[in-house]
Amino acid sequence: MSPETPFPASWRIDLPHSTAAVPLARALIRTALAATDVSAYADTAELLTAELVANAVEHTGSDERIELVVELLPTGCQVEVRDRAPAPPAGLVFPRPGEEPDPWQEHGRGLLLIRALSSSCGHRATEHGKAVWFTLPALLPEN
């Protein structure tokens, strides 16, 4: 992280419950990571954030709030998307035994990408629904 970044630094923003939330979230995450040691992962962070936000928009009611939370830590960053649906996302942390995506299926690859590209990911219950999160590491300083 840059020397002037205080730890932890975090941002929370309410997103519109529409497809417009996805490009807005991508822009916000790129801006948040621009001056940090996580900026090398900005493309990955944008992709994974977009997937979480798109899932929240698709799987919650149109009147339900969606929040994006970005937390910068000395070890990297954590991105969390909170929504009001209590059901956990299927297959985020552990794929079901013998379950492989159908090559013709149009949905179902986003959580696979999150598992594959983040250093860790998961979900947790919140007072009003759930939070789905992933982390990305900071780059190690060169010797």
pLDDT digits (tens, 9 = 90+) for 45-99: 999 999 999 999 988 887 788 999 999 888 889 999 999 998 888 766 555 566 6
Torsion of the alpha carbons at 11, 117, 92 and 73, rounded to the nearest 10: -30
CA distance 26 to 23: 5
Per-domain boundaries in the chain:
9-137
Q: What residue type is 125 in one-letter code?
A: A
Confidence band for 143, pLDDT divided at 50, 70 and 90: very low
Q: Does 3.30.565.10 match the CATH number of domain 9-137?
A: yes
Angle between helices 21-33 and 42-59 (to 10 degrees): 150
Global confidence as pTM:
0.83
Distances (CA, A) of 3 to 7, 29, 36, 74, 135: 10, 20, 9, 11, 21
